[in-house]
Amino acid sequence: MSEITVRVHQNKYLPAAAGRGEMHAIVTVAARGLGPAAAHTEASEVIVIDCSSSMSWPPTKIAAARRATAAAVRLLRDGTRFAIVEGTEQARVAFPSGGELAVAGPDSKERAVRAAYRLDATGGTAMATWLARAGELHAAHRVPIRHTLLLTDGKNEHDPPGRLDEVLADCAGRFICDARGIGEDWDQAELRRIAAGLHGRADAVRDDSDLEAEFRALVSSAMAKSLAQVRLVVRHRAGSELRFVRQVHPTRADLTGQGGYGDGVGDGRTWSYSAAAWGDEVREYHVCLTADPDGDPVDQDVELAAVELEPTGEAAPPAPEPASVLVRWTKDPPPFLSADPSLAHYDAQAELADAVAEGCAAYDRGDREKARRLWGRAAGLAHTTGDGRVLARLARLVRIVDAPAGVVELRDDFQAIDLSSILVINDESRRPPGGEDEPAQERPADPPPDLVCAACGRVNPGDAAYCEECNSPLRAGPPA
């Protein structure tokens, strides 16, 4: 049986003597049991492949893109509307030939696979043009789940200045886009802008051979969605103010200005935001409200706001009972002053993201020592919050001597792609390990020890299979 739930995590105690204050809460929205409905949910998928001339070198890059596109097409559910777009300075629909969305079935998917293997790298790069075309294709069929997969190896060089922002604003809410960078010359800031504007996720594909698995995972995830949207509604009491609503998982985003305010009655106390395309997953939000003790009882729970969910779509489960954001005013000293563990976790995750970004900025300025200190701080926070993914990517920038203590040594041999690959995921976050809405997780292990190439002596990250200098197979050895 499918269901969607809402829970509030907070420390509800505030000192009455301090007067007006802020109440912070983490709102957890969990959808379960939606998987079977996905097989009957209409969806559209547009696969956009960068076919600029730079994709032709090395030849493995365009070859990997062809294989990955073919693999993605084969995973489409029958009945899904889809297209392949060849992205250059234009956006040509490589399949189907009519320039509209095809309907997935054995015959159409086989023809699309053949079209994927004919993709040619001969043009420029105009991502706004590509996304605008994807928007047109999706708009022709108003199905509940609309997803775009975008792959690029370069920068947006052939659109007019400002055009990308215009297209992102126009396409927001019309479809979700996951963006991937391959090679070494893409711009992580551009990919993050695209993913943030279209409510998807951005990442790097370091090795051409990994692209097929990445496409499979992205399309499988899109095909598992069945709930068109969930409207998150916050109704707060008179005298309180909603300071902000921020998504904190799976990505960080300030939603305050994206939600509508007012409930049509004019009381100005109802905020709502539509979150699109749900499968079996958990999303979390940080809600902050002002609270005033005037007229409230002491040592009793008082409701500051009610958080409601309004799921929509044919596969929508019943709406759950609203969850309350509470305040309990206490006499000094209040009994509990520490932050709720969920809030503390996401504060640490935000601090981790800042440390990563500031370390990269310091390195770009030539301040290696400051970069080392900041990345050491990031290593400690990644260990504390259980963020093994960030810890593994940090291990390409620094040798992690003691992760819990944040002791690191700067590497001399990392590449620009290593900076891009950690920055591109800097808007993501991890839930606290063992959250009540999903199975408990063990803390990720620290990165494996460095590997020394026996052929050339280069020190490589512990998760590398081949030497980054001479491409020889690696075997474990003590760090040089």
pLDDT, position 195: 98
- Please count the other Cβ atoms lying within 10 Å of the Cβ belonging to residue 365: 10
What is the residue-wise DSSP string for 9-39?
EE--EEEGGG-SEEEEEEEEEEEES-HHHHT
Question: DSSP class of residue 174?
Answer: T
pLDDT, position 99: 83
The CATH T-level fold of domain 42-223 is Rossmann fold (3.40.50)
Kindly tell me the burial class for residue 282, based on how many C-beta atoms sit within 10 Å of its own C-beta (0-12, 13-18, 19 or more).
Answer: middle
User: Dihedral through CA 271, CA 275, CA 278, CA 283, nearest 10?
Assistant: -70
With contact defined as beta carbons under 8 Å apart, do 251 and 201 qualify?
A: yes
pLDDT, position 439: 39
Could you tell me which of 278, 279, 210, 226 has the C-alpha nearest to residue 71? 210
Kindly report the backbone phi and psi dihedral angles of residue 57, in degrees, each rounded to the nearest multiple of 5, phi listed first: -135, 130
Q: In what order do the strands lie in the sheet with 301-312?
A: 13-15, 323-330, 301-312, 227-236, 270-278, 260-261
| Beta-strand relationship, 145-152 and 176-182 | parallel
Q: Name the 3-class secondary structure at 188.
A: helix
With contact defined as beta carbons under 8 Å apart, do 131 and 177 qualify?
A: yes
pLDDT, position 441: 38
Could you tell me which of 25, 1, 4 has the C-alpha nearest to residue 308? 4
CATH (residue range 342-447)? 1.20.120
Full-model pTM: 0.89
- Please count the other Cβ atoms lying within 10 Å of the Cβ belonging to residue 135: 20
In the chain, where does the domain assigned CATH 1.20.120 lie?
342-447
What is the residue-wise DSSP string for 59-89?
HHHHHHHHHHHHHHHHTSPTT-EEEEEEESS
pLDDT, position 339: 79
Length of the chain: 480
In the chain, where does the domain assigned CATH 3.40.50.410 lie?
42-223
pLDDT, position 477: 40
pLDDT of the chain, 480 residues: tens digit per residue: 899 999 999 999 999 999 999 999 999 999 999 988 898 899 999 999 999 999 999 999 999 999 999 999 999 999 999 999 999 999 999 999 988 999 999 999 999 999 999 999 999 999 999 999 999 999 999 899 999 999 999 999 999 999 999 999 999 999 999 999 999 999 999 999 999 999 999 999 999 999 999 999 999 999 999 999 999 999 999 999 999 999 999 999 999 999 887 655 557 899 999 999 999 999 999 999 999 999 999 999 999 999 999 998 887 999 999 999 999 999 876 666 677 999 999 999 999 999 999 999 999 999 999 999 999 999 999 999 999 999 999 999 999 999 999 999 999 989 999 999 999 999 999 999 865 554 333 344 455 666 777 777 666 667 666 665 666 777 544 333
Could you tell me which of 300, 299, 359, 304 has the C-alpha nearest to residue 326? 304
CATH (residue range 3-36+228-336)? 2.60.40.3670
pLDDT, position 265: 52
Could you tell me which of 217, 219, 218, 157 has the C-alpha nearest to residue 186? 157
Burial of 413-423, coded b for 16+ CB within 10 Å and e otherwise, reads ebeebbbbbbb
Q: Name the 3-class secondary structure at 132.
A: helix
In the chain, where does the domain assigned CATH 2.60.40.3670 lie?
3-36+228-336
- Which residues touch 299 (CB under 8 Å, ≥6 apart)? 328, 329, 330, 331
